Amino acid sequence: MVNPSRIFLDNAATTPLDPEVLATMTQVMADTYGNPSSIHAEGRKARSLIEAARKTVANALNCSIGEIFFTSGGTEANNMALKNAVRDLGVKRIISSPLEHHCVLHSLEAIRATGAVEIEMVAIDEKGHVDLADLERRLASDDRKTLVSLMHANNEIGNLLPLKEVAKLCGDAGALFHCDTVQTMGYYPIDLAATRVSFVSGSAHKFYGPKGVGFVYINSDNIVGPFVDGGAQERNMRGGTENIYGIVGLAKALQRAVEQREVRMSHMHELKAYFMEQLRSRYPEVTFNGDPEQGHAKVLSVSFPQSPKGDLLLMNLDLNGISASGGSACSSGIDVGSHVVGHLYPDSPRHTIRFSFSHHNTRGEVDAVVERLGGML
Ligand code: PLP
């Protein structure tokens, strides 16, 4: 599945489809054509596949099947959580962070434009962590109904949020808590029976599943109405005939990610540490954005010093068979710039490349990248 002539280090953007997931999906595509809403045998067969997939997801998160709603991906899941919470749960204030994914930040802008809520941004420390004391102060300072929206792992720098601690702070303050878990789903254990979170989100293509399918968990204490008006699909939350093949693929991919979590994670941790060590010894002027020792095993945001070739770094990597992502503080050349790196290192002339790993990557690939970088800096 992975093109052997290239080195794919952009697994935070997306991951290649797991061949076993593909096999499961193609089998269902060949065999199952019923509409899950039909009551005849073909329909019931399709429905049973969707409900089995829901059960797999609920088991992985230790929650009830009635709390999982399939969506078109992480963007829709986050839109649904935020917009429905404001519309249906009496939220008057949202506390979020400037480092969230655009699907959260742009949803918040749209919500702000309605005038329904006030939006505050929590302080971020110099390593890109949420300042928990500031969050606690903000939660205590106002008794209006509050929703906190903070991501579990930052997709650009990899920093991890202490999920349990934030859930407790929100719970103690009576605030709702939405956590964008798109980058950690299938990578880090999330036990929703033990951790009080109101909403989490998942996206299959981040854990070796298909693109265009995801889910939102909505804690059953929160009764919200439809996000997409139409038929009664997804218990009235999202009208429209379900993406059966995507949903089945999502569940299979999540199940495999959970089963293989330890092996995959230890491989990625090892690879990331090795990459950091090799970069440090070969290019002492290289630094790392965020807090890589603490962060997600799959993400390494590397900061290269300003140089005449720097603007072309991402393109040169591509030409040399290496796929990675840009995201410097300021936009330049083919790099559109990053609000995350820009927030942490305003106006920095340095060049950021995000390398992100999968369990398919090898030490040999890391060695090749370190070697080939020599001609590009
Ligand atoms: N949230 C985070 C943290 C992400 O990294 C992404 C994908 O880049 C999303 C949300 C959006 O997910 P999707 O691509 O499924 O819409």
DSSP string, 125-158: -TTS-B-HHHHHHHHHT--S-EEEEEESB-TTT-
All residues at 6 or more sequence positions from 107 whose CB lies less than 8 Å from its CB, including other chains: 78, 79, 82, 83
Report whether 338 contacts 98 (CB < 8 A): no
Asked whether 73 lines ligand 1 (CB < 6 A), one says: yes
Q: What is the pLDDT of residues 68-85, one digit of tens each?
A: 999 999 999 999 999 999
pLDDT class of 308 with cuts at 50, 70, 90: confident
Phi, psi of 91, rounded to the nearest 5 degrees: -70, 130
All residues at 6 or more sequence positions from 314 whose CB lies less than 8 Å from its CB, including other chains: 324, 325, 326, 333, 334, 335, 353
Residue nearest atom 9 in ligand 1 by C-alpha distance: 74
Asked whether 101 lines ligand 1 (CB < 6 A), one says: yes
Q: What is the pLDDT of residues 217-247, one digit of tens each?
A: 999 999 999 999 999 999 999 999 999 999 9
> 371 C-alpha vs ligand 1 centroid, how far in Å?
31
Known catalytic membership, residue 330 = yes
Asked whether 15 lines ligand 1 (CB < 6 A), one says: no
Order across the sheet with 68-71: list the strands. Answer: 68-71, 214-218, 199-203, 176-180, 146-151, 93-96, 118-121
Phi, psi of 3, rounded to the nearest 5 degrees: -65, 115
Position 4 scores a pLDDT of 81
Position 41 scores a pLDDT of 98
Asked whether 180 lines ligand 1 (CB < 6 A), one says: yes
Q: Which ligand 1 atom is the nearest neighbour of the CA of 155? A: 5
Asked whether 96 lines ligand 1 (CB < 6 A), one says: no
Position 329 scores a pLDDT of 76
Position 327 scores a pLDDT of 80
Alpha carbons within 13 angstroms on the beta-carbon side of residue 288 total 21
* Average pLDDT of the residues in 283-289: 97
Q: What is the pLDDT of residues 321-364, one digit of tens each?
A: 999 999 877 766 667 789 999 999 998 999 999 999 999 999 99
Rounded Cα distance between 285 and 300, Å, is 16
Position 143 scores a pLDDT of 93
Q: Which ligand 1 atom is the nearest neighbour of the CA of 12? A: 5
Task: Tell if the pTM clears 0.95, that is, is over it.
Answer: yes
Report whether 21 contacts 253 (CB < 8 A): yes
Position 316 scores a pLDDT of 96
> 356 C-alpha vs ligand 1 centroid, how far in Å?
14
Q: What is the pLDDT of residues 28-64, one digit of tens each?
A: 999 999 999 999 999 999 999 999 999 999 999 999 9
From the list 140, 167, 173, 170, the residue with the least C-alpha distance to 152 is: 167
DSSP, res 62: T
Residue 370 CB neighbour total at 10 angstroms:
17
**Strand-pair partners of 335:** 332
